[in-house]
Structure 1
Amino acid sequence: MRLRRCGPDAVLVELASLTEVAAARAALATADLPGLVDLVPAARTVMVSFSAGSSGIRRVRDVLEQVDLSKAPDVTSHEVVLPVVYDGPDLELVAETAGLTVRETVALHSGTEYTVAFCGFAPGFAYLTGLPEPLRQPRLDTPRSRVPAGAVGVAGEFTGVYPRPSPGGWRLLARLADHADPLFVPTRDPAALLSPGDRVRFSAVS
């Protein structure tokens, strides 16, 4: 673990794994740190920001040194089921690379429970962990200039859903069904459908 100051009122906590990130975020969230404004987890870091002049920033290291960062925290989470249609343009590529049939690939991806590790890249985009090993594949050699909203992809150890049209290099397996709840609505509370710690399943629909 390494702490790096980011200006006078924030600190970046550098960690070794997603488990450590989850443990650190949970510990800091429950520590009642004075002036805490936000916790922003990423793949190997947690950004901790405070109101100007708060004394809370001086307690971050003490809180984390009392936590076993090797153990995933017990957190209250929600289960979200996303209805999807498995007709993505890279579905056959993913199946071939995994040494599976298309049907087996769909069953493997939809039969797994995932956890939101962190959010980023675009509002509402959640990086989901728990992807089965055969589906852990590299990004496309040439990213697409436009991935449609609702596209479901895999890249490395993550799977996720694009909340809006954007460039992207993930291998696309599926798309959200028309009746699925949108991933991000600025006027909704909360605006993002998925939050760190939430459990997610994909339900195959035709």
Structure 2
Amino acid sequence: MRIRPVGAHALLLDCAEPEAHPAPAPDVAELVEAWRAELWHRRERGELDAAEIVPAATTVLLDGVPDPAATAARIAGWTPRPPATTAAAATVQIPVTYDGEDLPAVAGHWGVDVPTVVRRLRQTRFRVAFCGFAPGFAYLTGLPAGLAVPRLPSPRPRVPAGSVALAGPYAGIYPSASPGGWLLVGRTGTTLFDVHADPPARLTPGTEVRLVAA
């Protein structure tokens, strides 16, 4: 893991950088989640001064850091706990109707039939790795690496809100109607982003998610 300065008051933890010791490198997504949880925990205990902690696919950004150099030195001496041992909020269950038009394509990529795809998705314990693309859009990890699927060659002009979809190693749910190139496997009526709610996003980094049958 490498810590990089970003501007005058931010730090970027690059979890894709190789570790200094020869031990086997953990999965990058797991390492990002471990650091995200560790930094949030340290901030709650008053050991870290940062306005924002923002995980991404391979990095964690700390913004609003008064003394980046001193903070980087402290972080370099910390060891994140594995995600499985960190405190987690209750699992969020999202009821899904599995009738997406791309289910046969996903089944073809996985080499199974459609009922098996649905069963795997229902049984998988997903975790919100990070949010992006649109307000409330959570990138969910949990599927084995061998089940990654490609995006569509050309994105659809409009994907309905609540669409459950897969792309690469991630699952995701469109919080609002928008263009999108992910493979559609189902739909949900759950509201994922409400500007009047606290927090506005239903799914936040570190949250465990189950895509249960509606």
For residue 4 of structure 1, what is the aligned residue in structure 2?
4
SS at match of 2:51: strand
For residue 106 of structure 2, what is the aligned residue in structure 1?
94
Following superposition, which runs of at least 4 residues in structure 1 exceed 3 angstroms of deviation? 132-135
Q: Share of identical aligned residues, percent?
A: 42
Deviation at 1:133, TM superposition (A): 5.0
Deviation at 1:66, TM superposition (A): 2.2
* Alignment of 1:173 onto 2:182: no
- 1:152 and 1:173 in contact (8 A); partners too: yes
Q: Deviations over 1:75-95 (max 9, x none)?
A: 222211111111111011111
SS at match of 2:12: strand
Counterparts of 1:13-52 in structure 2, within 5 Å, are: 13-16=13-16, 17-31=28-42, 32-33=46-47, 35-50=49-64
* Alignment of 1:183 onto 2:192: yes
Deviation at 1:15, TM superposition (A): 0.9
Deviation at 1:60, TM superposition (A): 2.9
Aligned residue identity for 1:202? L
Task: Report the Cα distance in structure 2 between the residues aligned to 1:171 and 1:102, rounded to whole angstroms.
Answer: 13
Deviation at 1:68, TM superposition (A): 4.6
Give the 3 Å change call, closer, same or farther, for CA 57–38 of structure 1 in structure 2. farther
Q: Deviations over 1:117-170 (max 9, x none)?
A: 111111111111111456421111122122111111111111010101112111
Counterparts of 1:117-128 in structure 2, within 5 Å, are: 117-128=129-140
* Alignment of 1:110 onto 2:122: yes
- 2:136 and 2:202 in contact (8 A); partners too: yes
Deviation at 1:22, TM superposition (A): 1.4
Give the 3 Å change call, closer, same or farther, for CA 34–85 of structure 1 in structure 2. closer
For residue 194 of structure 1, what is the aligned residue in structure 2?
203
Task: Report the Cα distance in structure 1 between the residues aligned to 2:99 and 2:180, rounded to whole angstroms.
Answer: 18
Task: Report the Cα distance in structure 2 between the residues aligned to 1:47 and 1:133, rounded to whole angstroms.
Answer: 25
Aligned residue identity for 1:13? L
- 2:5 and 2:68 in contact (8 A); partners too: no
Higher strand proportion (structure 1 or 2): 1
Deviation at 1:112, TM superposition (A): 1.2
Deviation at 1:61, TM superposition (A): 3.7
- Of 149, 170, 174, 1:158 maps to 170
- 1:117 and 1:126 in contact (8 A); partners too: yes
Q: Which moved more, 1:75-84 or 1:133-142?
A: 133-142
Deviation at 1:104, TM superposition (A): 1.3
For residue 143 of structure 1, what is the aligned residue in structure 2?
155
- TM-score, L = length of structure 1: 0.88
Gaps of 5+ in 2: 17-27
